């Protein structure tokens, strides 16, 4: 298997826009191509992630750049859609199938909380368990009961991410918030308040991947894509939600499954990471990710946010972009935007949110049906 490099990155700001999803996707793709110094006609394949749009949306988006006859493939896996496109792009380069590929993620989400009814049985939907804020809250409450995690610790995740988001021109929300503002925002599902939860929205992200040999033509300092791994949960979703989310049933959390595979492939472990972009659909999800990615032992996620070690200037910066809490979450685009942020961090191009001397980064995404992914980048 050949080494895979990222040589260019592009993004369309996350938020709400009077644009089509195709227009946003093209803007991110063109930005990535320009960043790489590559023309569209040189791209040998494209992989396009989205969760809501019909088949061939990738073709509709990219062929206005020129009908070159290449393979353009759409992928989807709920909130983890982006990692499936990244994995396909990785395999295309690593296997020798192509020298240059484009990976694009884009989405235009409806307003309001997600209700992924398609992954739940009708009786679960009738009980209200398909509303994602409800099962996030159940997991958070279980953690609070078992380990003493507090609402203030959840709030500090949001405070950190809103502060980081205020430094990110591509984030939907660019306003710092106090702990009091977060804790006193409207209660959604106890213990989660409104400002602890991300907003579904719109946006796009893209990267250009190349073999090491091809990358040398465009840059002397490529970023290595060491792994891009997609996994689904071991435990099925069809069990009673009240049991699943209030009782520890998974033998190995799916985030740990994906991260372990990526760690083993790259020879990198949690202690080697300088910067992480992780799934913070809600504040508790980031605390859960701390533990399942191996940053701390089970139950200590609340203590880790208290320590300050996950701040931009901490031991391992987590969500320096502001995370989904500040950026919002357009499902098909979210992992690509994570990868773009890590790429910029490793290139030293993240501006006021730059993590000092960042050399190894991880992007993590998790969604409905247990779809989960981890990508590891390094220089």
Q: Please, which pLDDT band fits residue 132 given cuts at 50, 70 and 90? A: confident
Q: Is residue 208 part of a domain?
A: yes
Residue 241 has a pLDDT of 59
Alpha-carbon gap, residue 286 to 318, rounded angstroms: 9
Q: Is residue 149 part of a domain?
A: no
Residue 118 has a pLDDT of 64
Q: Is residue 313 part of a domain?
A: yes
Does residue 126 carry a pLDDT above 90? no
Residue 238 has a pLDDT of 53
CATH code, domain carrying 62: 3.40.47.10
Nearest CA to 234 among 244, 224, 242?
A: 244
Average pLDDT over residues 19-48: 98
The domain in which residue 264 lies consists of 4-111+197-378
Other CB atoms within a 10 A radius of the CB of residue 142 amount to 16
Q: Is residue 171 part of a domain?
A: no
Residue 7 has a pLDDT of 98
Distant-in-sequence, close-in-space partners of 91: CB < 8 Å, separation ≥ 6: 97
- Asked if residue 342 lies in contact with residue 277, where contact means CB atoms within 8 angstroms, the answer is yes
Query: Residue 252 in 3-state DSSP?
Result: coil
Q: Is residue 181 part of a domain?
A: no
Alpha-carbon gap, residue 198 to 325, rounded angstroms: 4
Q: Is residue 242 part of a domain?
A: yes
Does residue 353 carry a pLDDT above 70? yes
Residue 121 has a pLDDT of 73
Query: Residue 339 in 3-state DSSP?
Result: helix
DSSP states of 184-225: TSPEEETTEEGGGB--B-EEEEEEEEEEHHHHTTT-SSPEEE
Q: What is the DSSP letter of 311?
A: S
Q: What is the mean pLDDT of the chain?
A: 93
Does residue 54 carry a pLDDT above 80? no
pTM for this model (two decimals): 0.94
Strand order in the sheet with 275-277: 71-75, 45-49, 100-108, 202-211, 4-15, 223-231, 372-378, 360-366, 275-277, 317-318
Residue 242 has a pLDDT of 62
User: What is the per-residue pLDDT across 81-114, written as a single tens digit (0 to 9) for each?
Assistant: 999 999 999 999 999 999 999 999 999 998 877 6
Does residue 37 carry a pLDDT above 90? yes
Average pLDDT over residues 208-234: 95
Does residue 342 carry a pLDDT above 60? yes
Q: Is residue 136 part of a domain?
A: no
User: What is the per-residue pLDDT across 135-166, written as a single tens digit (0 to 9) for each?
Assistant: 889 899 999 999 999 999 999 999 999 999 99
Q: Is residue 204 part of a domain?
A: yes
Domains: count for the chain: 1
Task: Write down the residue that tokens 């990219």 correspond to.
Answer: 62
């Amino acid at each position: 298997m050949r080494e895979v490099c990222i040589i260019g990155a592009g993004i369309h700001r996350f938020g709400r826009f009077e644009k089509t999803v195709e227009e946003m996707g093209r803007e991110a793709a063109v930005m990535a191509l320009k960043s790489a110094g590559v023309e569209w006609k040189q791209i040998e394949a494209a992989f396009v992630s989205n969760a809501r749009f019909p088949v061939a949306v990738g073709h509709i988006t990219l062929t206005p750049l020129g009908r070159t006859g290449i393979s353009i493939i759409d992928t989807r896996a709920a909130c983890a859609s982006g990692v499936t496109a990244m994995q396909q792009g990785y395999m295309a380069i690593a296997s020798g199938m192509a020298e240059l590929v484009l990976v694009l993620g884009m989405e235009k989400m409806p307003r309001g909380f997600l209700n992924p009814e398609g992954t739940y049985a009708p009786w679960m939907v009738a009980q209200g368990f398909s509303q994602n804020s409800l099962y996030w809250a159940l997991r958070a409450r279980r953690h609070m009961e078992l380990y003493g995690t507090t609402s203030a610790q959840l709030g500090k995740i949001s405070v950190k991410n809103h502060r980081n988001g205020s430094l990110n021109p591509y984030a939907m929300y660019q306003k710092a918030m106090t702990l009091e503002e977060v804790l006193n925002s409207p209660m959604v599902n106890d213990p989660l308040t409104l400002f602890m939860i991300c907003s579904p929205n719109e946006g796009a992200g893209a990267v250009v991947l190349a073999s090491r040999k091809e990358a040398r033509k465009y840059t002397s300092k490529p970023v290595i894509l060491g792994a891009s791994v997609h996994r689904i949960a071991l435990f099925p979703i069809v069990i009673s939600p009240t049991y699943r989310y209030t009782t520890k049933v998974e033998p190995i959390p799916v985030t740990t499954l994906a991260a372990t595979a990526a760690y083993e492939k790259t020879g990198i472990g949690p202690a080697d990471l300088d910067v992480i972009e992780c799934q913070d659909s809600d504040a508790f999800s980031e605390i859960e990710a701390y533990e399942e990615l191996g940053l701390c032992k089970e139950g200590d996620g609340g203590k880790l946010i208290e320590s300050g070690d996950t701040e931009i200037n901490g031991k391992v910066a987590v969500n320096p972009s502001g995370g989904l809490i500040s950026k919002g979450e357009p499902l098909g685009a979210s992992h690509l935007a994570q990868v773009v942020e890590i790429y910029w961090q490793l290139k030293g191009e993240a501006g006021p949110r730059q993590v000092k001397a960042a050399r190894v980064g991880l992007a993590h995404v998790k969604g409905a049906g247990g779809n989960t992914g981890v990508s590891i980048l390094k220089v």
